[in-house]
């Protein structure tokens, strides 16, 4: 019996970790998005003005539709015009009184200043800022031949959120509004081949946790850290085109070694 217990104790931890890594993202994929909707839309957002970055696909697109269903005015921001204008049209069909699509690059300070200013100038106020735009470069650190390839992770994921928040916060204070931060579970859990993405999301989480203490009750801050979600960013990395989970075997093996 002791021998069986020793074998069980030796084998169970790595097998459990492997099972968690393999199956948990599938479970989290829908659960995380549903939890965003449940937490956000306990508030009555009808007639409120919402800016969503990275709104042309994925979580940003889904949130645009949900806000639209609840009757919010929307300023949808993305760098890709064609899918952005399609999402804007659909959000109006879902019930948004008015949608303003804005083509902009959140990694550029002036773009962020412009779309926040234009939103307030057009709608007269700002109630929610959803910082969702992001990229996830995928490679092992030692495989990088040019470090400049890693800069978009911080430029878009971290600074893109900071820039928007800087220009939006005065208006959010006036409306007692809210910042909704789409971070990632990778901000808490190390993931091979995602070193810069993990670092950028950890920075995002730490930044907004700090802002909570600085803003106090003046601006609400909701930090969302989902697992793998079916989106353009995850397809080809963790998801197939039809939305099925496809685990990178090398990434999986690195995760359970040592």
Q: Which amino acids are annotated catalytic?
A: 197
Torsion, CA 238, CA 137, CA 111, CA 119, rounded to 10: 20
Phi, psi of 152 (to 5 degrees): -60, -30
| DSSP-assigned beta bridge partners for residue 101 | 76
């Amino acid at each position: 019996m002791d021998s069986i217990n020793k074998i069980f104790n030796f084998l169970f931890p790595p097998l459990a970790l492997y099972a968690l890594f393999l199956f948990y993202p599938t479970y989290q994929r829908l659960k995380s998005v549903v939890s965003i909707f449940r937490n956000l839309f306990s508030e009555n957002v009808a007639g409120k003005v919402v800016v969503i970055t990275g709104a042309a696909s994925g979580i940003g697109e889904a949130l645009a539709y949900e806000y639209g269903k609840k009757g919010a005015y929307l300023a949808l921001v993305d760098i890709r015009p064609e899918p952005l204008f399609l999402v804007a049209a659909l959000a109006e069909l879902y019930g948004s009184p008015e949608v303003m699509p804005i083509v902009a690059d959140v990694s550029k300070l002036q773009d962020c200043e412009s779309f926040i200013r234009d939103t307030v100038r057009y709608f007269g106020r700002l109630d929610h800022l959803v910082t969702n735009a992001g990229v996830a470069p995928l490679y092992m650190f030692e495989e990088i031949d040019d470090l400049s390839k890693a800069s978009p992770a911080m430029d878009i994921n971290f600074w893109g959120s900071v820039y928007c928040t800087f220009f939006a916060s005065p208006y959010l204070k006036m409306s007692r509004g809210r910042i909704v931060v789409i971070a990632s579970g990778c901000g808490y859990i190390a993931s091979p081949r995602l070193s810069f993405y993990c670092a950028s999301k950890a920075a995002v989480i730490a930044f907004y946790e700090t802002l909570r203490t600085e803003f106090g009750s003046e601006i609400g801050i909701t930090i969302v850290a989902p697992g793998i979600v079916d989106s353009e960013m995850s397809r080809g990395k963790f998801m197939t085109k039809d939305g099925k989970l496809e685990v990178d075997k090398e990434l999986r093996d690195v995760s359970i070694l040592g």
